[in-house]
Amino acid sequence: MEKELIRLENCTMAFDDEVVLDNISLSIRDKEFLTLLGPSGCGKTTTLRIIGGFTKPVSGGVFFDGVRINDMPPHKRNVNTVFQKYALFTHLNVFENVAFGLRLQKPKLSKAEIARLVDEMLEVVSLRGFNNRDASSLSGGQQQRVAIARALVLKPRVLLLDEPLGALDLRLRKDMQNELKRIQQQTEITFVYVTHDQEEALAMSDTVVVMDGGIIQQIGSPEDVYNEPKNAFVADFIGESNIVDGIMRSDGEVEIFGRRMKCLDGGFGKDEPADVVIRPEDIDIVPLGSDAAMLTGQVTNVTFKGVHYDIIVDFKGFKWLIQTTDLSPVGGKIGIKLDPDSIHIMKKSRYSGMFGDYSSYSAEYDDISDASLGEDDVEDDE
C-alpha cells in the first residue's frame, strides 16, 4: 500500500451561498487511479479544481505530501490537469502546445532538451510525427492525446482528468480507457479522474469515490462499491438495482414482501427497517410452483439486449428488473429464487424510496438517464 499523497480535510465550497461541497474529507494515495464519480452537479469537478488550485475551499484544508497548500497557486503545484474538451491552445501547433509548460520552467531548459522531452512524450501518447500539425486540425482522440501529453510532460506527481473522454464517441472511448490505464501504469503517476460514467469508473479505477449533492456517498474499490453499496443512491447509480423495503429480523435474516429470507448481512438492530438491494443479474428464475420459488410475479415487459433479456416483473405492484438468458413471454408468470449472497442490506438513508423501482421502465430508460447525465457539470463550474 502506497502512502498518502493528497488529503482533503473537511472541505466546504459554496458559490453565492449555494453549497456545492459539504464538508468532504478524502485521502488519495500515491500512484493510485482514483475516480470521482457522480451525476452532474455533485461536486466532483469542484473537488478536482480544489486539488488543482483553481478554486479555494471556503473552509477546510488541502494537503499535499503533508503540507497545507490551500493558498498555493496552480503553477506552483506539482499537479497538472487534462481539461474538459481538452482546452488546447488554438494559436499553437502540437509541438508548441506540449512545450508550453516546459518553456516556463525555471531554470530554463535548453531548446534541444525541450525538443527531446516533447518528442518523448508524443511517443508515449502515440502521436509521433504530429509536431507541426495545428491543434484544431486534429480529431477528438488526437486532441485528447495532446492534452494528456501537455500535462504529463511536466512530470507531475498527480494528473487531474476532468471528464477527458466525454467528447469522444463510444468506440474511441473504450480504446482511450485502455490507453489511459496503460499510460498511468507506465508513468506511475497518481491519476484523479472525474466522470459521470459508472462503467468507465469501474473499469479503470483502483478507488472509486461516489458523490452526490456535494457529499461523498462512498469510497471503495470498484468491487466494493458495486457489491456493497452503502445506500440507495450508490446502489442505483452504479449498475442496475432493485431496491425494496425490508425489515432486519435478526443478523442474517431479512423480511421482504412478508417473507423471511436468508442473507449475509448483520449489525442491524432487531426489526430495524432497511433498504434491500437485489442486482438484476443475481436473480434466478425458477419454474412456477416449484419449491424453490420464493416469490412469484408477472412479466410485463421484455427487451432483448444481445447477451441477455431485460425483463420487468411485477411483484405485488412493485416492478423489478431481471436480467436473464431465458425468454419469458410478456404476461406469463414466473417464480424467482434469491440466494443469500445475492441480497445486500443497506441502512436507511435520505435516498430511501427514491430509487430502485422499475415501474416507469421503458426500452429507452438507459438512453434517457445517460442523456441527463451527459450534460456538462454546469453547476460545478464557477
Partner 1 sequence: MTKNRLPGRLYTALIMLFLYAPIFVLIVFSFNATKSRTVWAGFSLKWYTALLRDKQILGAFYTTLAVSLISAAVSTVIGTFAAIGLFDMKRKLRSPVLFVNNIPLVNADIITGVAMCMLFVALGTFLKFKLGFGTLLIAHVTFNIPYIILSVMPKLRQLDGNLLDAGRDLGCTWFGTLWRVIFPEIMPGIINGALIAFTMSIDDFVISYFTAGSDVETLSMSVYSMTRKRISPEVNALSTLLFVTVLILLLAINIRSRGQNKSPETR
Note the residues at the interface with partner 1 (CB under 8 A): 49, 52-54, 73-75, 79-81, 83-85, 87, 89-92, 100-101, 104-105, 134, 137, 150-151, 154, 381
Q: 117 or 215, CB closer to partner 1? A: 117
Q: Give the 3-state secondary structure of residue 116.
A: helix
How far apart are alpha carbons 318 and 341 in whole angstroms? 22
**CA trace torsion 224, 225, 230, 235 (10° rounding):** -140
Nearest distance from residue 150's CB to partner 1, in Å? 7
How far apart are alpha carbons 216 and 80 in whole angstroms? 23
Q: Which residues contact 94 (CB under 8 A, 6 or more apart)?
A: 122, 127, 130, 131, 132, 133, 134, 135, 138, 146
Nearest distance from residue 172's CB to partner 1, in Å? 20
Nearest distance from residue 282's CB to partner 1, in Å? 42
Q: Residue 116 region, left (φ>0) first, then alpha (ψ -120 to 50), else beta? A: alpha
Nearest distance from residue 169's CB to partner 1, in Å? 21
Nearest distance from residue 242's CB to partner 1, in Å? 40
Nearest distance from residue 38's CB to partner 1, in Å? 20
How far apart are alpha carbons 307 and 310 in whole angstroms? 10
How far apart are alpha carbons 308 and 67 in whole angstroms? 51
Q: 370 or 381, CB closer to partner 1? A: 381
Q: Are 171 and 140 in contact (CB under 8 A)?
A: no
